[in-house]
Structure 1
Amino acid sequence: MDTPPPEKREGNDGNGKPHVLVVPFPAQGHMLALLDLVALLATCGGPELSVTVAITAGNAPLLEPLLADCPSIGVVTLPFPSSPLLPPGCGENTRDLPLHLFRMFIPALAELRAPLLAWCKAQAPTQRVTAVVSDIFTGWARPLAAELGARHVTFSPCSALHVAFSRPLWRDMPQRIRADADADEAVVTFPDVRGGAHSFPWRRLPMTYRLHKVGDEPSEMIRQITLWSLLDTECVVLNSFAALEPTYLDRRSPLVPRVLAVGPLSEARATVSANRGGKPAVAPSAVAAWLDAFADGSVVYVSFGTQHALSPEQAACVADALAQSSAAFVWAAGTLTVLPEGFEAATASRGMVIRGWAPQVEILRHRAVGWFLMHCGMNAVLEAASASVAMLTWPMGADHFFNKIVVEEAGVAMHVAEGADTVPDAGRMAEAIAAAVGDEGKAIRERAVELGRKAAEAVAEGGSSYMDFQELVHMLAKVD
């Protein structure tokens, strides 16, 4: 079947400048951070760079806030590829999809390589693509860059710790050693990764790895894409910062490929524009007015991201815990979470439930919010860190278990549960929430405030992330 030609949005005329092509992965947690980076490249990269984003038609509306801020950014719109790996009508974004389909998006999206390469080759000499920045899950852009004679940089929305372990994980493919009781508790041991050997239960490793089957074409493609991204690239750019992960971002330990930490990107983007994300279901001013009635640090914000909808049993547990704890809360429940009947009415004096997109950054930055009950997605971790908010952790999958280690090592978190299918004990969760907002959580909150100060310093002029960003711009501006 013939593929329609890509569409090009006017706004990026090239003018002979180094031309950076950005290839995102259509998952909310991946795109938000990468588009923040795109905004910074287009604004803080100065006149040195011309930037184009490759997107499929169904995801094009997600670029509207970015283009409102940065009209000079070009967009190449590609038809979403037809793939036997995905069912018809599944959509063009991983939002609200089962996790097994999230995995299949990785090899399915690789079908964009041929039409995107054709578009790149069709550009006039003054618009030649000189560098490619691709998401960790769109590593098929690495050979595309090689064919164009362009530089290649990988963007990972994950932590430096996750990248440090992912390299030997996908390169060496260590297998689990079966445990006597439960294979999911079997241990995988890694060689020396920053300070010694490490072991993880099989269940804590990313799903994309746990479901890998040797010889299975989609599995092998996922592995190859990851290897291109992490081991066969000039540089890996991270949405993290030195004070959050000092051990894993130690400049005295040279890494190949080079690692640059330019985060928190939400904090850096805020210095340019607050126009980020979708249209909130509740106006930020309305949430702020409600929060004004509560004492500093006394409110718990609850959100488990866009990819994980709590089961009715899990939602009932969280609701029961919030009710028992007597803590004030804002719960961004999304559109799929089913809350117990009567819960909202019973807690109306100290609780707010938001359906749809929540103005998360604004909520976290309100003085009354002191804790974030979360799934440990990296964007959420960084938004909490930037806002000086401590964390109550419930990692569920993907890179969450690595991120949990990061925030615990930073001393800004308390653990409450783990596992995507776990239904925690509501009483114990209530005790953890009550302890967090009480005297027991005071020292953790103080460390969170200090981490927030360091996050702001990192992206300020002369800070560690600022300097790494400048190095990235210099790298992308070099034309061989």
Structure 2
Amino acid sequence: MAFDKKQLHILFFPLMSPGHFIPMIDMACIFASHNVRSTVVATPSDASKIPLSKSKYISVVTIPFPSPSLTNLPPDHENLATIRSSMFDLFVSALSLFQPPLQNLIHDLKPDCLISDSLFPWTADLALQFKIPRIIFHGAGVFPMYVSANIFSHFPLDESKEEFFMDGLAEKIKLYRKGLPDMFSNIPFLITMGEAEAKSYGVVVNTFREMEPTYVDFYKGTKKAWCIGPLSLANKLDEEKTAGWIAEKEEVKEKIVKWLDGKEEGSVLYVCFGSLCHFSGGQLRELALGLEKCNKNFLWVVRKEAEGDDVSEKEWMPENYKERVGERGLVVKGWVPQTTVLDHKSVGWFVTHCGWNSLQESTCAGVPMITWPLFHEQFINAEFLVETMGIGERMWEGFRKSEYRKFDDVIVTADEIAGVVGRVMGGGEKYEEMKRKAKDYGEKAKKAVDEGGSSYNDVVALIEELKTL
């Protein structure tokens, strides 16, 4: 396809993981809608799952995933969603091997800007080599990035205390020592990322100012940053843009929507823990029993485990479970159209691991959340939902964390699950106020991405700034 050489050209290089890959595809589509030539770099397996928009300004180029002989990963294990949990470190180590093919691509395509995931710190030097700006994409929001950037002022942490407080801009932030992102145990890598950020031109964030105004204003006062989210909402393409990601079947979507259509408004509890979260067989069983005991309608998505991580359903699923819960419960294994589910009028609450994408999608839909953080920055996000936004209720008080690998490893019991679900879905002034706040945030999210909104204006401002370069 022929392009105007004067047209702004951005190269997007996402991490091979659904939580990072999908929002960057949305981002590329948004820039393409502003007549910016947008090229996405992907491995062949990921590229095959990208339904391109109708825009003539977006395209995909491929580079191979490094050979198993170099990565020590099994063949066809080219995405974080498909590898065994024990291979996470091997996968991250393999990312540096993308440098030579990306260097060749930049040489051939001559883009005006590179937007790359934060976990590719070496792209900062690559961009300097070609004298183009490198902009970082973080999978998290501004609040968790603010916490992460300021956490070192509290080191060394007092190991005799489980929790500590960080002086925030608007309030004190309660954090848990064992709930900090795992990367804080890898100081050399954190230093490398910090050095790469110092060399980079700026940061794009999947958030909108009205969601975290105090922290956005502070963050923008310390570095070049553009808040261009919620990306799932800003990209107006049909939701099937992500359908190929986990081999969605149309009949699965139709089954779910038909089931939701038969439920009263706000009566369904949606339960989903994302694409990377693992549970033990024992915890899955407690969750099943808790959902049965709460006596509420529920749609529960059980993660399709990577080969080698799978826990047999026969080991944990209670006997005759589907018959026992009847039409009140729907259990789906694998992918579901999450934004369609959250937007459905019958969904009243969302039990979530507090991943940033899920948090954003629920906020856009105006659905309050029950927090069940597991790892990475999810414990930080959970505090943000509960204490700052006021649209979340904790599944438990205090701190609990586990590797979730032993079959009998249980963190939350069936009685606790049923108790929290029954309480929040039972109504009352506190929870009605949460629902009101959630709907208000949803309206603000829609306004932010519309023409003249805060996120729309940040996209335009970034484009104009890149043109001047």
**TM score, norm. by length of structure 2:** 0.87
2:269–2:350 CA contact under 8 A, matched in 1: yes
Give the Cα–Cα distance (whole angstroms) in 2 for the partners of residues 385 and 58 of structure 1: 31
Supply the AA of the counterpart residue of 1:176.
L
Matching residue within 274, 288, 303 for 1:305: 274
Say whether 1:433 aligns with 2:415: no
2:176 is the counterpart of 1:201 = yes
Q: Is the 8 A contact 1:23 1:141 kept in 2?
A: no
Aligned-residue offset at 1:361? 0.8
Which of 276, 300, 320 in structure 1 is aligned with 2:241? 276
Q: Give the Cα–Cα distance (whole angstroms) in 2 for the partners of residues 341 and 380 of structure 1.
A: 31
Helix, strand or coil at the partner of 1:348: helix
Bigger drift between 201-210 and 274-283 goes to 274-283
1:381 corresponds in structure 2 to 359
- SS state at 1:132 partner: strand
Q: Secondary structure at the match of 2:363?
A: helix
Measured after TM superposition, the shift of residue 137 of structure 1 is 1.1
Which AA in structure 2 matches 1:433? V
Query: Residue 390 in 1 paired to residue 372 in 2?
Result: no
| Secondary structure of the corresponding residue to residue 472 of structure 1 | helix
Q: Which runs of structure 2 are paired with 1:60-209 in the superposition (5 Å)?
A: 60-63=47-50, 65=51, 67-70=52-55, 72-82=57-67, 86-89=72-75, 91-99=77-85, 101-121=87-107, 123=108, 127-169=109-151, 174-179=155-160, 185=162, 194=169, 200-209=175-184
Aligned to 2:46: 59
Contact 1:138 1:225 in 2 (8 A): no
Could you say what the CA RMSD is over the residues aligned between the two structures, in angstroms? Answer: 2.5
Given the alignment of the two structures, is residue 38 of structure 1 paired with residue 5 of structure 2, yes or no?
no
1:22 aligns with 2:7: no
Q: Pick the structure with more helix per residue.
A: 2
CA distance in 2, matches of 1:299, 1:247: 33
Q: Which moved more, 1:133-142 or 1:283-292?
A: 283-292
1:283-337 alpha-carbon deviations (Å, 9 max, x no partner): 4333222112221111001100010132111111111111111010111113236
- Counterpart selection for 1:334 from 280, 303, 307: 303
Pick from 230, 233, 238: which aligns with 1:264?
A: 230
CA spacing shift, 1:174–1:62, aligned 2, 3 Å:
farther
Q: Distance between the aligned counterparts of 1:225 and 1:471, measured in 2? A: 29
The answer to whether the aligner puts 1:458 opposite 2:453 as a matched pair is no
- Partners in 2 of 1:208 and 1:107 — Cα distance? 13
Matched ranges for 1:329-478 at <5 A: 329-336=298-305, 338=313, 339-408=317-386, 409-417=388-396, 418-420=400-402, 421=404, 423-440=411-428, 441-478=431-468
1:96: Cα distance to partner?
3.7
CA contact (8 A) 1:12 1:73 kept: no
Distance 1:450 1:160, change over 3 A: same
Residues 36 and 266, structure 1, Cα contact 8 Å, conserved in 2: yes
2:209 to 219, 239, 242: 242
CA distance in 1, matches of 2:417, 2:265: 22
Over 3 Å counting, the alpha-carbon distance change for 1:318 and 1:26 in structure 2 is same
Distance 1:196 1:103, change over 3 A: farther
Report the CA distance shift for 1:274/1:76 in structure 2 as closer, same or farther (over 3 A): same
Q: Could you tell me how far apart the structure 1 residues matched to 2:414 and 2:198 are?
A: 43
CA contact (8 A) 1:241 1:465 kept: yes
Instruction: Report if the CA contact (8 A) 2:19-2:139 is conserved.
Output: yes
Q: Distance in 2 between matches of 1:189 and 1:451?
A: 26
Cα deviation for residue 356 of structure 1 reads: 2.1
Deviations 1:354-403 (A, max 9, x none): 12210111111110001111100111111111111110110001111121
Shift of 1:209: 2.0
Q: Please give the alpha-carbon distance, in whole angstroms, between the structure 2 residues aligned to 1:178 and 1:208.
A: 18
Residue number in structure 1 paired with 2:308: none
* 3-state SS in 2 of match to 1:247: helix
Structure 1 301/399 Cα, relative in aligned 2: closer, same or farther at 3 Å?
same
Rounded to whole Å, the distance in 1 between the matches of 2:206 and 2:366 is 17
**3-state SS, counterpart of residue 40 of structure 1:** helix
Q: CA deviation at 1:105?
A: 2.9
Decide whether the 8 Å contact of 1:396 with 1:419 is kept in 2: yes
Identical-pair percentage: 27
Q: Distance in 2 between matches of 1:315 and 1:229?
A: 40
Deviation of the 1:265 alpha carbon? 0.9
CA 30–254 in structure 1, closer or farther in 2 if over 3 Å, else same: closer
**Matched residue SS, 2:208:** coil
Equivalents in 1 of 2:4, 2:277: separation in Å?
A: 40
What CA distance in whole angstroms lies between the structure 1 residues aligned with 2:178 and 2:85?
Answer: 15
Tell me which amino acid in the other structure corresponds to 1:410.
Answer: M
Contact 1:96/1:306 (<8 A) preserved: no
Give, in whole Å, the separation in 2 of the partners of 1:283 and 1:276.
Answer: 16
Query: Structure 2 regions of 5+ residues with no counterpart?
Result: 306-310, 405-409
Report the CA distance shift for 1:14/1:144 in structure 2 as closer, same or farther (over 3 A). Answer: farther
SS of the residue 2:119 aligns to: coil
1:131–1:151 contact (8 Å) kept in structure 2: yes
Any idea what SS the aligned residue of 2:393 has?
Answer: strand
Is the Cα–Cα contact under 8 Å of residues 14 and 50 in structure 1 kept in the other structure? no
Deviation at 1:276? 2.2
Q: CA offset at residue 237 of structure 1?
A: 1.0
Letter in 2 for 1:324: K
Q: Cα deviation per residue 1:228-268 (whole Å; 9 max; x = unaligned)? A: 554432221111112221221126x6433222211111111
